[in-house]
Amino acid sequence: MSTPHATAHLVDDETTGVPTFEASGGDWSDIAEEAARLGEERIVVNMGPQHPSTHGVLRLMLEIDGETVTEARAGIGYLHTGIEKNMEFRTWTQGVTFCTRMDYVAPLFQEAAYCLGVEKLLGITDDVPERATVIRVLLMELNRIASHLVCLATGGNELGATTIMTVGFTAREEVLRIFELITGLRMNHAFIRPGGVAQDIPPGAIDTIREALTSMRHYFKQLEDLMMANPILHLRLKEVGYLGLSGCMALGITGPVLRSAGLPYDVRKAAPYCGYETYDFEVPVATEADSWARVVLRMEECYQSMNIVEQTLDRLQKMGPGPVMVGDKKIAWPAQLAIGSDGMGNSLDHIKEIMGTSMEALIHHFKLVTEGFRVPAGQVFQTVEHPRGELGVHLVSDGGTRPYRAHFRDPSFNNLQAVSIMCEGGQVADVVVAVASLDPVLGGVDR
């Protein structure tokens, strides 16, 4: 069986008379070689896969004519980790440890989407304690702020404004300290578990978060002063990376990129989860559909998230201490988790009880941790509003203690399809702006 070869031949455009290439099949490098053989000057350059604007290892293949990009293609797969396949060989609870590492800038959204899906399969959605649900919303909205700050900070740095980066990352540090206080980790938390969350927020956390919000508002005011009235930033971002509503709809693009084109689609409003319908917040939109509009939208979304965080704090304060995991002991894992004197694991009192007084409790605990709980056969699709767009998880169970299949619809993967349409016809320097405005995280793309 013969291998298909790339072919390229010169044709004259009927409208302009300009000679162009028609290419079909084969690899990009083969097409470039064929073009060189035909004697036409054609410059194909690689941007990446280590370019700073990519937030990861993304390869951009650009064909340029002077400073103008005539063709752009994205090459992915350099960060492939096999997370989805690995999840098929771990228990349903252990799956959280894998999916949290996909989009490492916004780990809590993958945890939440996955756990909501597992809870649907188990039929325990309504049994998850309200306090656990409010804690999930609190963590997700703080994570949305942290994620947008990475986008704004790195985007500013890529354009040469280092101060934007330092202010942005200093503000993000406030969020990471909160994460460390509540979950014990700054990222890859595995804190949201099927049935609830690993543990309650520690004493004093509510006051600490309120103080952090005050600091964050101060940093956002600095970012506004640095960015919103900056004439250089206006020139670099306005009318650059344009992608209209029809293009977004055709490519399945969601999140701030879609909302910058005028459609106020937000999963939190369209298909509410975790009680989002009970929170008071707006969905910012714009109509310019360019890189500048996406910067403004992300700033506004951060303010909306801070408002939601304040509402969660009021609710947590009002309801007081309570359970944060379902009552069903066949699902709740780890059982009766509490912080021990070493800062981790089960409390010494609980260990003493299961080791010394109840053989049944010890056996159950051992089986729950090592074997996991069984999930009824079926499949489910759950979506959440991720900082980069709509994140979906498709879970399939064959009735066992491990997923038969776990697949994620990561927004960065879909959004990257827009690289060509946003970059072609613009300048090489505008490629950096366009890709940064998409805010792709390659951990989620490659999985």
Would you give the end-to-end CA distance of the chain in angstroms? Answer: 33
Same domain, 14 and 130: no
Please tell me the predicted confidence (pLDDT) of residue 170: 92
Nearest in space to 441 (alpha carbons), one of 83, 115, 185, 101: 101
Per-residue pLDDT of the chain (447 residues; tens, 9 = 90+): 444 444 445 555 555 555 555 555 566 677 667 766 665 667 888 777 665 555 668 888 888 888 888 888 888 888 888 899 999 999 988 889 998 988 888 999 999 999 999 999 999 889 899 999 999 999 999 999 999 999 888 888 778 788 888 999 999 999 999 999 988 888 888 899 998 898 888 888 999 999 999 999 999 999 888 888 888 888 888 888 888 899 889 999 998 999 999 899 999 999 999 999 999 999 999 999 888 999 999 999 999 999 999 999 999 999 888 888 888 877 876 545 555 455 555 666 666 666 667 677 777 777 777 888 888 999 999 999 999 999 999 999 998 889 999 999 999 889 998 888 888 888 888 888 888 888 888 888 888
Same domain, 14 and 140: no
Same domain, 123 and 58: no
Helix (H, G, I), strand (E, B) or coil at 421: helix
Same domain, 153 and 51: no
Bond prior to 49 in cis (omega within 30° of 0): yes
Burial class (CB in 10 A: 0-12, 13-18, 19+), 312: buried
- Give the Cα separation of 41 and 48 in Å (integer): 23
Q: What are phi and psi of 393, to 5 degrees?
A: -130, 130
- Give the Cα separation of 178 and 396 in Å (integer): 34
- Give the Cα separation of 254 and 422 in Å (integer): 15
Q: Residue with structure tokens 């969601």?
A: 254
- Give the Cα separation of 296 and 261 in Å (integer): 13
Same domain, 165 and 232: yes
Same domain, 46 and 154: no
CB 422 within 8 A of CB 445: no
Please tell me the predicted confidence (pLDDT) of residue 4: 44
Same domain, 163 and 107: yes
Query: The domain spanning residue 216 has which CATH number?
Result: 1.10.645.10
Q: What is the dihedral of CA 35, 36, 38, 39, to 10 degrees?
A: 130
Instruction: Confirm whether 85 is domain-assigned.
Output: no
Please tell me the predicted confidence (pLDDT) of residue 304: 94
Instruction: Confirm whether 81 is domain-assigned.
Output: no
- Give the Cα separation of 226 and 218 in Å (integer): 13
CB 52 within 8 A of CB 59: no
Instruction: Confirm whether 82 is domain-assigned.
Output: no
CB 152 within 8 A of CB 223: yes
Structural domain range at position 60 = 7-75
Same domain, 67 and 101: no
Instruction: Confirm whether 340 is domain-assigned.
Output: no
* Number of domains observed in the structure of the chain: 2
Same domain, 189 and 114: yes
Task: Starting at the earlier edge strand, list the strands of the sheet with 43-47.
Answer: 43-47, 59-65, 68-75
Instruction: Confirm whether 80 is domain-assigned.
Output: no
Same domain, 29 and 124: no
E strands, 314-430, where? 378-386, 389-397, 405-409
Instruction: Confirm whether 143 is domain-assigned.
Output: yes
- C-beta atoms surrounding 321 within 10 Å: 10
Residues near 43 by Cβ (< 8 Å), separated by ≥ 6? 63, 64, 65
For 70-99, give one letter per residue: b (16+ CB within 10 A) or e: bbbebebebbeeebbebbeebbbbbbbbbb
Of 25, 41, 75, which marks where a domain is finished?
75
Going 415 to 416 to 417 to 423, the CA torsion angle's sign is positive
Of 75, 108, 129, which marks where a domain is finished?
75
Instruction: Confirm whether 419 is domain-assigned.
Output: yes
Q: Which two tokens stand for residue 387?
A: 């900082």
Same domain, 11 and 147: no
Instruction: Confirm whether 309 is domain-assigned.
Output: yes
Same domain, 292 and 319: yes
